[in-house]
Amino acid sequence: MSDTTTGPPLARPAHAPPAGPPPGLLCPAVMDLAGLRRGVPVPRPRAPRRPVELYLAEVGRQDRLELRRAQEWLDADERARAGAFHRPRDRDAYVVAHAALRGVLSRLLGVPADTLPLVREPCAGCGGPHGRPALRAPGVHFSLSHSGDLVMVALAPTPVGVDVEGLATAQAVLGAQSALHPAEAAELARLPAHERPAAFTRTWVRKEAYLKGLGTGLVRDPALDHVGAGPLPRAPGPTWTLRDVLVPAGYAAAVALHTG
């Protein structure tokens, strides 16, 4: 199905529920972390399914045993980062997010989840060794996002970015006007006040997905790019495709894929 983006539309992911998503939305495959086990054989490696694979995990669905098993999949640095969270819910979200990422990459590359060749890219802001995670393996790109109880992972053979966020408050919308492209600010201003939080949130996840795909994150001014506040996203450039993703009520999500 076509939208206002340039480039080919993104395909429905493998293993998605049989019922198709509403028009204009991509439907992620729901992950079940209950099967996490050390020593379980992994499938043979495969190429990422074109053009993108999307996976969704929910933090609240994991019991304490599953969370302990998930934490076993993390490396020492990830365990240290998880332990630095003061709120248990934030710690659990981090553990589920990184275990989910390792789970899908393990099945893709055919290697145990706790031995994945993951590295940290240089920070886009300061150049330090604490940027986003990446793979040493060529031809595989991924993006990870988590907010509240939701975790989303995207895999693709080209640069990709994904973002999920909880619904913004009316106060947050007012305080973030400077982060919007002028055309987006005008689009929001034309909406009734009660519709603006949802419209702002879908605009913001589109921006974050694109900036993650670029590899800059918010080091790049988000107001530079017009992704649209309306029901369908706009492509931020001729070599990028941008689509919204179907997620539970109270959240918004989007994925950006490099197609050039």
Q: What is the pLDDT of residues 98-114, one digit of tens each?
A: 999 999 999 899 988 88
* Tens-digit pLDDT profile for residues 42-74: 788 888 888 999 999 999 888 888 888 888 889
pTM, 2 dp:
0.87
Mean pLDDT of 73-93: 91
> At residue 18, does pLDDT exceed 70?
no
**Percent of the chain topping pLDDT 90:** 57
Give the angle subtended at the CA of 97 by the CAs of 91 and 99, to the nearest 5°.
100
The predicted structure's pLDDT at residue 6: 33
Q: Tokens in use for 58?
A: 């929910």
What is the signed CA dihedral for 141, 132, 70, 168, rounded to 10 degrees?
-100
What is the signed CA dihedral for 166, 205, 5, 139, rounded to 10 degrees?
-110
Listed in sequence order, the DSSP H helices in 73-192 are 76-83, 88-109, 170-175, 182-189
Mean pLDDT of 251-256: 97
pLDDT band at 16 (very low <50, low <70, confident <90, very high): very low
> At residue 32, does pLDDT exceed 70?
yes
Q: How does the average pLDDT of the chain come out, rounded?
A: 85
Other CB atoms within 10 Å distance of the CB of residue 163? 27
How far is residue 260's CA from residue 247's CA, in Å, rounded to a whole number? 27
